[in-house]
Structure 1
Amino acid sequence: MRTVLVPVAVFITVSVVAGEPASAAPRTGQESLSHVMGGDLPRMRCAVPAIKAGSAGSLRAFHRAMATCADRFWAERFAAAGLPYSSPEVTITSGADSVCGRVSGAGAHYCPEQRAIVIRITRHDLRDPFRMNVAHSVAHEWGHHVQQLTGVLKAHEALYLSASERARTVLSHRLEMQAECYAGVFYSAALKSIGPGIAWDDWLDAVRQAEESEVHGKPRNLAFWQDRGYKGGATGFCNTWTAARAKVG
């Protein structure tokens, strides 16, 4: 089984990225969500199709199936917490124009104002559509949608103007790593159904070897939070805001 270098290039297209650690854990709906996420989650059965190299149609079908699966998972979690849930708009494109305006680069984007996830199919995706890599585009961005629905992104917007440049960088990492952890929580219920094509430990090794991103932080920490959500199976394991800086750098 080959191990790939995973481009952890999914990100949030929003001006707000930071505040200080103590103030970046607002009392929002994320607490209510955490309270119902303890213990083992029931396994999900999701009909996620195969991907054929060179076929944009098969990639679109895969992303759509992943979106349906993630939407059902989080809708059920929000319902159990007594929180309102609304689905994001999902756009799958090979171009640069989207409901969020013009987007650039590979990977996926979350646009808070439109509550939209935009997934770009690139030439690299077509040449080498590694299943888990492609799946993660959806899982990570849904993590940002959860942050939007629970008020985390809005709270950060209020804190942004007073944050120092250094704090913005560090807490951008906190934001992204919580989305990684939420992706792990989703995987704890749905990974078998997705059929990732790689063992979990091998996937984490691949994440650790990815290129470091100024926005996302160190790959080893991204892997740590994704694994924490996966093994914990609960959003309560995803409090990146009060974690030591060494775990979010």
Structure 2
Amino acid sequence: MIAGLTISGTAHAETKAPAAAAVPPVLTQNKIYSSGTASPQSCNIPEIRQGSVASLKTFHKAMANCANRFWATRFKAAGLRYSTPKIFITTGSNSVCGKITSNGAQYCPQQRTIAIRIMKRDLTDPFKMNIAHSVAHEWGHHVQQISGILNAQNTLYWRSSGSARTILSHRLEMQAECFAGVFYNGALDAIDPGITWDQWTEAVSRAGESKTHGKPRNLAYWQNRGYQSGAARYCNTWTAGKSRVL
């Protein structure tokens, strides 16, 4: 989820999506796509103690350190400048860019901050992979921000309306899922989620549908595509057919 990009939840008159020629190269030919294949990432990811806020904060910070080192390497390989996002962890609902929803995490583009809310469910049933994804997915949005993708999508979004906006939102979110998958390719062993990859993607595919994010089966497809390939060049959602981003 991204805070600061207002995605309307109301119905609009259907309009045509921007023609392929109108999609800027920063989306379809971004340098991050040339960042090569991920290597195994050595990260010290701790276990989570049930009911412990301190343990969850330590886990999130370890995940953040892992993701930071991973993407710094990928940006260097692509010849891009990398900058580290800030991490804001709270048990409340307010962040540096507004209220954190029940999803538990959001990316604040202007502040370049990943805001994470520790939810009650995280304390009572700390499902490690689900909690890890709060960092991995939002880091995908940070990758989009510092590579220029997020601003380009935002420009297209405000020039569009209706279903075209919905598709643009889906493309953005599914690319963040794919970037998360690329990260998992290098870091999953270090995370040691206690669940197989196939079990995880099956769970993702059965999650509730979101108008902003799109169909769970497609979210699972893009996350798996990033994981199986280990390369950001497989995450160009901007030229994918609509059936893959609905």
Q: Does the pair score TM above 0.5?
A: yes
CA distance in structure 1 between the aligned counterparts of 2:155 and 2:146, rounded to whole angstroms: 16
Higher relative contact order (CA 8 A, sep 6+): 1
Query: Is 1:139 the counterpart of 2:129 in the alignment?
Result: no
Query: Amino acid of the residue matched to residue 108 of structure 2?
Result: C
Aligned length: 237
Q: 1:26 to 1:104 in 2, by over 3 A?
A: same
- 1:245 & 1:164 partners in 2: Cα distance? 16
Tell me the distance in 2 between the aligned counterparts of 1:146 and 1:21.
25
Aligned to 2:171: 174
Write the letter of the residue equivalent to 1:143: G
Q: What's 1:78 paired with?
A: 75
Alignment match of 2:185 (pick from 188, 211, 214): 188
- Could you say what secondary structure the match of 2:186 adopts? helix
Return the match for 1:98 from 91, 95, 99: 95
3-state SS of 1:213 partner: coil
Indicate the residue corresponding to 2:199 in structure 1: 202
Indicate the residue corresponding to 1:20 in structure 2: 18
Please tell me the root mean square deviation across aligned C-alpha atoms, in Å.
Answer: 1.8
User: Which residue number corresponds to residue 116 of structure 1?
Assistant: 113
Do the aligned partners of 2:60 and 2:135 also contact (CA within 8 Å) in 1? yes
- Work out the CA distance in 2 between the residues paired with 1:17 and 1:190: 31
CA drift at 1:31: 2.3
- Contact 1:184–1:228, Cα closer than 8 Å, also in 2: yes
Q: What's the counterpart of residue 245 of structure 2? A: 248
Structure 2 CA distance for aligned equivalents of residues 77 and 17 of structure 1: 29
Of 181-190 and 160-169, more deviation after overlay is shown by: 160-169
Aligned to 1:90, the other structure's residue is in SS state: strand
Which residue of structure 2 lines up, in the alignment, with residue 56 of structure 1?
Answer: 53
Q: Counterpart in 2 of 1:3?
A: none
Contact 2:153–2:172 (CA<8 Å) still a contact in 1?
no
Measured after TM superposition, the shift of residue 99 of structure 1 is: 1.7
Kindly provide the CA deviation profile for residues 121-150 of structure 1, in whole angstroms up to 9, marking residues without a partner as x: 011110111010000010000000000011
In structure 1, the residue matched to 2:35 is 36
| 1:24–1:74 CA distance, 2 compared to 1 (3 A) | farther
- Say which of 128, 133, 151 aligns to 2:148: 151
- AA aligned opposite 1:13: A
CA–CA separation in structure 2 for the residues paired with 1:35 and 1:216:
25
State the partner residue of 1:236. Answer: 233
Partner deviation per Cα, 1:54-78 (whole Å, 9 max, x = no partner): 1111110000000000000001111
Quote the Cα distance in structure 2 between the aligned partners of 1:25 and 1:77: 24
What secondary structure, in the 3-state scheme, does the structure 1 residue paired with 2:142 have? Answer: helix
1:105 offset after TM fit, Å? 2.2
Question: Are the aligned partners of 2:114 and 2:138 in contact in 1 as well (CA < 8 Å)?
Answer: yes
* 1:211 to 1:50, Cα distance in 2 relative to 1, 3 A: same
Contact kept in structure 2, 1:16 and 1:157, CA below 8 Å: no
What's the CA shift string for 1:10-62, capped at 9, x where partnerless?
x111326696362675323862221132x4x2211100000011111111000
The TM-score normalised by the length of structure 1 is 0.90
2:215 is matched with which residue: 188, 213, 218? 218
Cα distance in structure 2, aligned partners of 1:24 and 1:149: 21
User: In structure 1, what is the equivalent of residue 124 of structure 2?
Assistant: 127
TM-aligned CA distance change 1:138 to 1:24, over 3 Å: farther
